Amino acid sequence: MQRFILSKKNHITLVSAILIVIGFTGELGFKNEAVAVAALVLASILGAMPIAIQAYQALKVKIVSIDVLVTIAVVGAFFIQNFEESAIVTFLFLFGAFLEQRTLNKTRSAIKELTEMAPESALKQMASGEFEEVDVDEVDVGDILLVKTGAKIPVDGTVLSGEGSINEASITGESLPVSKEKGSTVFAGTILDNGTIQIAADRVGEDTTFGKIIELVEEAQDSKSEAERFIDRFSKYYTPAVLVLGILVWVFSRNLELAITILVLGCPGALVIGVPVSNVAGIGNGARHGILLKGSEVIGDFSRLDTMVFDKTGTLTAGNPSVAEKEYYGENTQEALGYLASIERESDHPLARAVLEEIGETKFSLVENTEVVKGGGIAATVGGHRIAVGNVALMERENVTLGEQAKADIARFEKSGNSLVLTSVDGELKVLMGVRDQIRPGVKKDLRRLKKLGVKNLVMLSGDNQGTVDAVSRELGLTEAHGSMLPEDKSAYIKRLIEEEGQIVAFVGDGVNDSPSLALAHIGIAMGSGTDVAIETSDVVLMNSDFSRLPHALGLTKATARNMKQNILIAVGVVLFLLASVFFSEWMNMSIGMLVHEASILVVILNGMRLLRYKLR
């Protein structure tokens, strides 16, 4: 019976409204007291039923809720035969709850939109070689799927054949289509704008990036911040205190109407709902822009940030080194480049790939007697010649004489932030290349925006040599930059900032080799296109590794924190105003108090909803 009544709460609200209209029409229009009283009594009883049930359920778990206060107030109004007040209070309370739910549902639109984007079916290759439409749950890792123009990608996978452009807004927040070809990675929930592709399923169901996004946003919206937990504790004691105040007023004044008015006006509804709605709206905005804020707690720390620490490669730089400068010495340069390419093609080091890309097509020779020199490079025999490829230390080990011009070139290359690749043939220097990782486009502007948002210190930590690190730091205008750092050195630096200097620190990295630092910082921010390690380790994930999302994320958390404070001030201010009006004015009564109370709840909800439209100026 209780469940049935609660399920019909909206219908009861409508019937109560009709009965109140009949009651006042009967009294004012037709001067029929009996019809007016009957209608208002019935409206009071109907309206009080769901409220009383919710109050009973709260008391069963030893909680004095708002419903308890309203139920006592309505019973008291009924007892003193103030049926107009009891009917109007129950209607306003129920109607306010209806409006709150409607408005709150809008703040959850981001997760609803994400859920609706989830693919439901897939064209799967069967044993016969034909493609048949199956439910997405029937797709397993390794299955081959066909995706046609306009269809959703059903799984995370790798393109086997075909080409096309894909709208990845559901994953990255970026509306511009991304071109895909054989070997490209695709994500579930994204849409193939044009073309036809076949993909191999790498991750399916909840294991896909899209599935993890939905799970994380749901968890984040259900999590509670420190402010919310405080308000929960506050309400636990505040609501019974209002009840005790009402009893004391009745005991000392014998004015039952004043006592039950205080019960209605003291309801902390706006206070209880104001902070959660801000958090939900802020997290929803982030999800729409490819930013995963993993919980309400993240918002509080992020908004008070002092220092932001960056990994260099793949974060401030593109992570794709290329040859920026080169010098050749002596004769037979093409022959030397062929020897260099022959050695480098056997290495998977990023510098080797950059060198091979720079050399292009050349004649390769057989590489023999390869010796890897730790911290130096590689020495080998190629075409009967002793070839050494590496840094200055390796050249010294190989007794290669560096002339004055070569030393000047080396100093110049290092000052420009290059990693050096020197090549000697039979003890004579032939090639000097400076390999540099290019700074991400727009990073300098984004760092300035972070400073304007209140970040005091911008620090870079890198495993590269100090010269390279200093060159990048000068170009970007960073506060500090430290090179030659191993992952454990980075985490030790973060720990010192937090424990010794008391700073609130965010670490921005790729989420793989920097996972200790991501976990140790107050806020770990992963630039990882949704990789598993990034999602698991960090507090914030920038889904498309777009650095420009970082200022938006910081601005959003600051706006959310401000919004929470505004809602708390509105809620507390309204309660104080109402209680003061009871004691110091003649016009305040239960009905007006409940109207203002419900209006304040809607105000804090609408204020929170503004965050859904937030954009960084």
**Radius of gyration for the alpha carbons in the chain, expressed in angstroms and rounded:** 34
Rounded to whole angstroms, the Cα distance separating 463 from 312 reads: 8
Q: How many helices (H) and strands (E) does the chain have?
A: 23, 20
Rounded to whole angstroms, the Cα distance separating 214 from 220 reads: 10
**3-class SS letters over 536-598:** HHCCEEECCCCCCHHHHHHHHHHHHHHHHHHHHHHHHHHHHHHHHHHHHCCCCCHHHHHHHHH
CA-CA distances (angstroms) from residue 167 to 27, 151, 170, 179, 289? 63, 11, 8, 9, 14
Which residues are the active-site residues? 311
Report the run of H or E that residue 68 belongs to, with start and end: helix 66-79
410 within 8 A of 381, measured Cβ to Cβ: no
* Ordered DSSP codes for 452-483: HTT--EEEEE-SS-HHHHHHHHHHHT-SEEE-
Amino acid letter, 463: G
Amino acid letter, 449: R
Rounded to whole angstroms, the Cα distance separating 187 from 152 reads: 9
What is the number of alpha carbons within 13 Å of residue 103 lying toward its C-beta? Answer: 22
Q: Residue with structure tokens 């200790």?
A: 516
50 within 8 A of 94, measured Cβ to Cβ: yes
Rounded to whole angstroms, the Cα distance separating 613 from 583 reads: 41
Report the run of H or E that residue 311 belongs to, with start and end: strand 307-311
